[in-house]
C-alpha cells in the first residue's frame, strides 16, 4: 500500500489551483468569519454605533446656531459630512484587524488550509462593507430622530449611502496595504488616523468652504473628501450631483487601481 503525504509545497500548489467558484466561496466564508467576530465582540462596533450619534448630536447643537442660524438648517448641511467622516473612518478597521490576525498567527493557520490564498484578504474587505452599511443606517436614523428631512427623500439617502460605502470600500484598500506591511496594529491605526483626520476635518463637511481663508479654501476645494461630501449633500438634497459623483467614482477607481495590486503583492509574499 502506498501512502500519500502532502508536503507544504504540494499544499501550496493545491491552493494555487483552486477554482474561481471555490475562491469566491472561501472569500464569503472569511467574510462570514468577520461578522461572527463582530457578534461575539460587540465592542468592535462602537465606532459605527456610538460615534455617529455622538458626533451628530454634539456638532449640531454646538455649532448649529453659530454657523447656520438654526439647528434644523445646520443638520441638513452637517449630516452628509458626519456620514462621510464616520464611514470613511470605519475603513481603518480593515487594516487594523488584518494586522492583528497576522500578529496572532491566524494567517499562519489559513496557509495550512486548502483554501484560496486570497480568501482571507478578500473576505476581510468584503465583510467590512457590513460595518459601512451599519454606520450609514445609524447616522441617517440619528438625523431622522433629530428632525432631518432632506428634499431628496429616502431615494436620495439611499443613493448617498451607497456612494459613501463604495468610496469607503475603495479607501479600505489603502489601510489594508498598511495592515499588511506595518509592524503592529497600533502603527496601522496611528498612520491611518494621521492621514484621515486632516482630510476629513479640512473639508467642507462641517463648514462651507467659502467661509475659509483663501489658502485653506484651495485645499478644501481639491480635497477628495470634499467632493464626496458635496455629492452626498446634493443627493440627499435632491440636487444635481453628477459632477461630484463622477469625481468620487474616478477617485475610488484610481485608489483601487493603485493600492489593490500593491496590497495583493505584499499579501501574497506573506501568504
Could you read off the pLDDT of 202-217 as tens digits, one per residue? 999 998 898 889 989 9
Asked if residues 27 and 123 have their Cβ atoms less than 8 Å apart, the reply is yes
User: Does residue 38 surpass a pLDDT of 60?
Assistant: yes
- What the block records as the C-alpha cell of 192 is 491611518
pLDDT at 17: 58
* Least confident piece of the model among 34-43, 80-89, 133-142, 170-179: 34-43
* Torsion angles phi and psi, residue 239, rounded to 5: -105, 170
**What distance separates the 2 farthest-apart alpha carbons in the chain?**
86
Alpha-carbon span 203 to 34, nearest angstrom: 32
Closest by CA to 230, choosing from 218, 245, 219, 210, is 245
| pLDDT mean over 126-155 | 93
- What the block records as the C-alpha cell of 115 is 483554501
* Model pLDDT for residues 200-258, shown as the tens digit of each residue: 989 999 988 988 899 899 999 999 999 999 999 999 999 999 999 999 999 999 999 99
pLDDT at 254: 95
HSE, side-chain direction, 13 A CA sphere, residue 95: 34
User: Does residue 13 surpass a pLDDT of 80?
Assistant: no
Alpha-carbon span 163 to 240, nearest angstrom: 14
Confidence grade of residue 11 (pLDDT, cut at 50, 70, 90): very low
pLDDT at 271: 59
Judged by DSSP in three states, 206 sits in: coil
| pLDDT mean over 134-158 | 94
Q: What is the CA radius of gyration of the chain?
A: 21
Residue 140, C-beta contacts closer than 8 angstroms, at least 6 positions apart:
79, 83, 148, 157, 161
| pLDDT mean over 64-85 | 89
Amino acid at each position: 500500500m502506498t501512502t500519500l503525504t502532502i508536503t507544504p509545497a504540494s499544499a501550496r500548489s493545491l491552493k494555487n489551483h483552486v477554482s474561481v467558484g471555490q475562491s469566491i466561496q472561501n472569500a464569503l466564508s472569511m467574510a462570514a468569519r468577520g461578522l461572527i467576530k463582530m457578534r461575539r465582540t460587540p465592542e468592535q462596533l462602537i465606532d459605527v454605533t456610538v460615534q455617529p450619534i455622538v458626533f451628530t448630536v454634539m456638532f449640531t447643537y454646538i455649532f448649529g446656531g453659530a454657523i447656520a442660524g438654526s439647528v434644523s438648517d445646520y443638520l441638513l448641511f452637517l449630516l452628509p459630512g458626519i456620514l462621510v467622516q464616520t464611514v470613511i473612518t470605519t475603513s481603518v478597521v480593515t487594516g487594523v484587524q488584518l494586522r492583528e490576525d497576522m500578529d496572532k498567527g491566524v494567517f499562519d493557520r489559513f496557509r495550512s488550509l486548502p483554501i484560496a490564498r486570497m480568501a482571507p484578504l478578500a473576505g476581510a474587505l468584503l465583510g467590512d462593507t457590513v460595518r459601512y452599511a451599519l454606520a450609514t443606517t445609524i447616522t441617517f436614523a440619528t438625523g431622522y430622530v433629530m428632525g432631518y428631512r432632506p428634499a431628496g427623500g429616502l431615494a436620495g439617502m439611499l443613493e448617498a449611502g451607497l456612494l459613501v460605502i463604495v468610496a469607503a470600500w475603495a479607501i479600505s484598500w489603502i489601510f489594508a496595504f498598511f495592515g499588511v506591511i506595518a509592524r503592529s496594529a497600533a502603527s496601522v491605526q496611528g498612520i491611518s488616523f494621521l492621514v484621515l483626520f486632516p482630510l476629513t476635518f479640512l473639508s467642507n463637511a462641517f463648514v462651507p468652504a467659502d467661509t475659509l481663508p483663501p489658502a485653506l479654501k484651495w485645499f478644501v476645494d481639491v480635497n477628495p473628501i470634499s467632493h464626496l461630501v458635496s455629492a452626498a449633500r446634493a443627493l440627499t438634497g435632491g440636487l444635481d450631483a453628477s459632477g461630484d459623483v463622477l469625481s468620487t467614482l474616478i477617485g475610488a477607481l484610481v485608489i483601487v487601481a493603485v493600492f489593490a495590486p500593491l496590497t495583493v503583492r505584499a499579501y501574497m509574499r506573506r501568504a
